[in-house]
Amino acid sequence: MTHVFGEDWHREREHLASIEGGADVITTEILARTGVGPGWRCAEVGAGGGSMAAWLSGRVGPAGEVFATDVETRFLTALDGGNVHVLKHDFTADEPPATGLDLVHARLVVEHVADQEDALKRLVTWLRPGGWLVVEDIDWTTRFPVSRAPEFDAAITAALDVARRSAGYDPAFGRRLPTMFTELGLHCVDAQAHTSMVRGGGPGIEVLKLTLERIAPATVAAGLLTDTQIAAALALCTDPAFATMLPTMISTWGRR
């Protein structure tokens, strides 16, 4: 599986925590709508730091199972055992960890793979008839600064350009999910979009700051930004006078 960001960045756990801090409250509300509860068998694909696998573990109880899969599992080992099975796994190539599942969830994962349609098809096959697929990915085209800050916008644009060049990343992928779910023959397809304003120095902006830090060397190597421009953009992330809207996360769900 090709990912625009490597899995071995020295601040990867912080990056995952910044995502969890902003997205978990949204994701748990969406997953609760499926009715996930005692005895359900679930897969958390690209489980990352493990927050959603832990939440699902509590929901399904001792009679249920959670398969927490990722290509890098070093942040998941503490969860392994009981009703949680941690698996080093590439869902785009490896055999399913289980089939006949009640729920499969993937957040900020499918957008990073080369063949997104095939990836979704694979996840559908893991489900029992009537099982739920929930996928959440980003639509970056909705991101815009609240404060006038061309240096910040230039940095984000350069980061997305590098992602597009290096891994074929589609910044607008999130908005395509509902149509793709319908074309896959899923039923009860619905979606919800979520964004919010964040300020410099606040916890919500940390995910943007860490994303910029992570991809900064690649933008410089590509000749898109200078170190000075990156420093100016990162400085705004600590300035309370600066505000921006986060890109929109599109949560989409449907039944097999």
Encode pLDDT of 29-88 as tens digits.
Answer: 999 999 999 999 999 999 999 999 999 999 999 999 999 999 999 999 999 999 999 999
User: At residue 15, does pLDDT exceed 90?
Assistant: no
User: At residue 136, does pLDDT exceed 80?
Assistant: yes
What is the pLDDT at residue 12? 85
Whether 193 is covered by a domain: the verdict is yes
Cα distance between residue 95 and residue 110, in whole Å: 17
Cα distance between residue 129 and residue 124, in whole Å: 10
What is the pLDDT at residue 10? 73
What tokens does 140 get? Answer: 């970056």
Average pLDDT over residues 173-194: 97
Contacts 24+ apart (CB under 8 A), 88-92: 90/1, 91/1, 91/45, 91/46, 91/119, 91/122, 91/123, 92/1, 92/118, 92/119, 92/122
User: At residue 1, does pLDDT exceed 50?
Assistant: no
What is the pLDDT at residue 120? 98
Whether 6 is covered by a domain: the verdict is no
Whether 3 is covered by a domain: the verdict is no
Read off the CATH number of the domain in which 168 is found. 3.40.50.150
Tell which residue, 199, 206, 143, 162, has the closest CA to residue 11: 206
The sign of the CA dihedral 239, 228, 164, 108 is negative
98-107, 161-170, 223-232: range with lowest mean pLDDT: 161-170
What tokens does 131 get? Answer: 């099982």
Three-state SS for 107? strand
- pTM for the full predicted model: 0.93
CA 3 to chain centroid, in Å, comes to 12
What is the pLDDT at residue 197? 94
Three-state SS for 120? helix
What is the count of structural domains for the chain?
A: 1
Cα distance between residue 32 and residue 59, in whole Å: 9
Whether 249 is covered by a domain: the verdict is yes
What is the pLDDT at residue 7? 58
Whether 124 is covered by a domain: the verdict is yes
Average pLDDT over residues 7-17: 78
Average pLDDT over residues 146-164: 90
- Percentage of the chain with pLDDT > 70? 96
Give the number of C-alpha atoms closer than 13 A to the C-alpha of residue 77, restricted to the C-beta side.
4
Neighbours of 216 (CB within 10 A): 21
Whether 7 is covered by a domain: the verdict is no
Whether 4 is covered by a domain: the verdict is no
- Percentage of the chain with pLDDT > 90? 81
Tens of pLDDT, residue by residue over 192-245, are: 999 999 999 998 899 999 989 988 999 999 999 999 999 999 999 999 999 999
CA 6 to chain centroid, in Å, comes to 14
**pLDDT-derived band of residue 145, with 50, 70 and 90 as boundaries?**
confident
Whether 218 is covered by a domain: the verdict is yes
Angle at 83 (CA atoms; ends 40, 136), nearest 5 degrees: 60
What is the pLDDT at residue 256? 98
What tokens does 245 get? Answer: 């809207």
Given a contact cutoff of 8 angstroms between Cβ atoms, the answer to whether 220 and 105 are in contact is no
User: At residue 104, does pLDDT exceed 50?
Assistant: yes
Given a contact cutoff of 8 angstroms between Cβ atoms, the answer to whether 86 and 48 are in contact is no
User: At residue 166, does pLDDT exceed 90?
Assistant: no
What is the pLDDT at residue 2? 46
Determine the structural domain holding residue 157 and report its residue range: 12-255
Residues near 87 by beta carbon (within 8 Å), at least 6 away in sequence: 67, 68, 69, 73, 97
Three-state SS for 104? strand
What is the pLDDT at residue 6? 54
